[in-house]
Chains A and B, each alone.
Chain A
Amino acid sequence: MTNTRVGKVLDGLFRFAGRAILAVFLCFLILPALFIAVLSFASDPHIAFPPRSWGLDRYVEVFTSDTWLGPIGLSLTIAAVTAVVTLVVAVPAMFALKRGKVPGGGVVESAAIAPMLFPVAAYAVGMYGVFAQFRLIGTFGGIVIAHVITAIPLVVILLSTAMDQIRPELELAAMTMGAARARAWAGITARLLLPAILAAAIFAFILSFDEAVFISFLGGPGLVTLPKYIFDSVQFGVDPAITAVATLLMVVTAALMSGATVLRGGRSR
């Protein structure tokens, strides 16, 4: 009897503790973001809480001054090129691994995921050495290469799971009906993989757009992406426009991520 009563009390306690922890967790995740979003609509000369006057001044500044538009444009360009290059490398590689008979294909796939496991700062230092040799420091191409390497593990994981859900029999069926292998791949498998490919592109884009470590090590003085600019500007005093930039980043990232999630969910059936 007492056992069950103690059990019940413990049960209730754990359930309460679980909810409390979840609430605290959510608060810490969301509150800072909300806080920044609120501050971005203030028009005080300095960041202060609570804001004394409200307005869209900070957004106007972000969209009109070259100081912000330059880094934003560079980041968008690098992210777009990274997404495209990553797919150009990863999609054919996935077809070769999943549909061809590549000896040691599993090893290749694991190797593609490996960069995810390295500590980023240590990896960046290592890359610095290599990039210095090939004179890639501070070049657009160099940063794209670094970003492609960071994006490939995630893209490979996404495409690999999506590919595993597409039965090879579909291709074989197309082939018996008279489709050449290339046509069966393009018309059936790649077509079914398309949502996953788009989702992978979005993830690669976001990874690159948000990336702050490699750019600090490898970007040199000339290449200033948005994360780099934010870092730099914080060192010499805080530009209040950062709150607007951060809010925009959060909204756009969240929208892209939910787009990717919808794309991935839509094809599972």
Chain B
Amino acid sequence: MDHTASEPDIVLRVRSLRKAFGDHEVLRSVDLDLSAGEFLTLLGPSGSGKTTLLRIIAGFDTHDSGQMLLNGRDITGLSPAERDLGMVFQNYALFPHMTVAENVAYGLKMRKWDSAKRARRVTEMLELVGLPDKADRKPQQLSGGQQQRVALARALAYEPQLLLMDEPLGALDRSLRLQLQQEIRRVHREVGTTIVFVTHDQEEALALSDRVAIMQDGRLAGLAAPSELYQNPPSRFVARFFSNANIIPAVVSDGGDPGLAKVVAVGSAFTLPSSHRGEAALAVRPRCLRPAVPGDALQLTGTVVESLLLGEERLVRLDVEGVGPVTASVDWRGTEDIVPGTSCRLSAPADDLVVLAE
């Protein structure tokens, strides 16, 4: 194997990958590095190119230009069979004419493992996903969650260099989804496979990933640890899509220090760390807003459009002049007077505000 000596732990390297369907550019120069054992989530709205990227990595679709290296080996011209990947599909894609055990053994059979070794491995894998007693069932006899666990066992059985998962939890209901998230986390911990996981669900991305790649119109709009992206979104799109943040127009000027900026937004003026100057925007997450506290940097006054008590918290939609609709999620105590039609004042401390240049 010709591993690149300097970076032995890069499993997948994608360089300037481009793909167009006719005039429509689906991928516009995507770069991505995945280190060994990493769990990377591709997150984006539908049509952002995340599934196309996954299909190209898997070898189901071709790309127009760019390069893909799997453990230093160029896989660009290789068929899916030659790439040594595992794949889990949204609709499970278990072979209906085979038993669970035969499904899990399929990849091993293709790799010409002898039958004793195969049987041992199948038992081991079914134990890993918690289905040791289902070996002789047909996939149709299992629930959706069980089928997806079989699919996971099947894709991992032959220890592929990279596991691809295409919205694997998309067909399951919410409680099952949470349960399987845990399951996937545990399996990832135990097996240590490198994983690329596609989803449009930001909670899933937050719960599972080491890093999240947010896709927008065929580009990577952000690539970082989920907590970093959540708290410091690099752009308005990421702030809105990943953190559900409110975007508030602001003007940023010199704050006396290169790393500090004087920010003016909806009548409030305060200082924030930022090197950007000129027109900008502030991102403020719904949870960071609270009923007005005098010392807070950002003060918002608006008309209540909607006020819903959701258990521990109250969801408030406010129409703020010069900003538009603002969503806040405030502690429910002492919020009975927030009713539609009345005026309401909310605020957020400077620590919870992020200056967005883009």
Contacts and interface: CB of A to CB of B under 8 A. Distances in A.
Interface in B85-121: 85-87, 89, 91, 93, 95-97, 106-107, 110-111
Interface string B144-166: 00000000001100101000100
Interface stretch (A82-90, A175-183, A213-221): A175-183
Interface stretch (A4-12, A140-148, A164-172): A164-172
Nearest to B90: A169
B80 A169 contact: no
Interface string A159-203: 000000001011011111111110100001001100000000000
A177 B154 CA distance: 9
A192 B140 CA distance: 14
Chain A interface main SS type: helix
A174 B151 CA distance: 12
Contacts of B59: 175-176
A176 B95 CA distance: 14
B312 to A, nearest CB: 41
Contacts of B18: none
A52 interface: no
* Most B C-beta atoms less than 10 A away, residue of A167, A174, A177, A183: A177
A180 to B, nearest CB: 6
* Most B C-beta atoms less than 10 A away, residue of A169, A175, A178, A188: A178
A178 B60 contact: no
B176 interface: no
B154 to A, nearest CB: 7
A18 B81 CA distance: 59
A75 B140 CA distance: 42
B180 to A, nearest CB: 18
A175 B81 contact: yes
B119 to A, nearest CB: 17
Contacts of A174: 95, 106
Contacts of A172: 58, 60, 80, 87, 89, 93
B110 A167 contact: no
A188 B91 contact: no
Given A172-B87, A176-B58, A181 B93 contact: no
Contact of B86 (A170, A176, A181, A183): A176
Contacts of B80: 172, 175-176
B93 A179 contact: no
A173 B79 contact: no
B89 A173 contact: yes
Contacts of A181: 79, 81
A261 to B, nearest CB: 20
B140 A167 contact: no
* Most B C-beta atoms less than 10 A away, residue of A175, A179, A183, A191: A175
B133 to A, nearest CB: 23
A176 B154 contact: no
Contacts of A178: 81, 84, 107, 110-111, 158
A269 B140 contact: yes
Contacts of B85: 176
Contacts of B79: 175, 180-181
B97 A167 contact: no
* Most B C-beta atoms less than 10 A away, residue of A176, A179, A269: A176
A177 B91 contact: no
Contacts of A177: 81, 86, 106-107, 110, 154-155, 158
Contact of A192 (B97, B107, B110, B158): B97
Contacts of A169: 89, 91, 93
A177 B110 CA distance: 7
Given A174-B106, A191-B97, A192-B97, A180 B89 contact: no
Given A177-B158, A179-B81, A269-B140, A170 B95 contact: yes
Contacts of B110: 177-179, 183
B158 A176 contact: no
B211 interface: no
B83 interface: yes
A173 to B, nearest CB: 4
5 contacts: A167-B91, A172-B58, A173-B154, A176-B58, A177-B110
Interface of A: 167, 169-170, 172-181, 183, 188, 191-192, 269
Given A173-B93, A177-B110, 17 more contacts: A169-B91, A170-B95, A172-B60, A172-B80, A172-B87, A172-B89, A173-B89, A173-B154, A175-B79, A176-B155, A176-B160, A177-B158, A178-B81, A178-B111, A179-B81, A179-B110, A183-B110
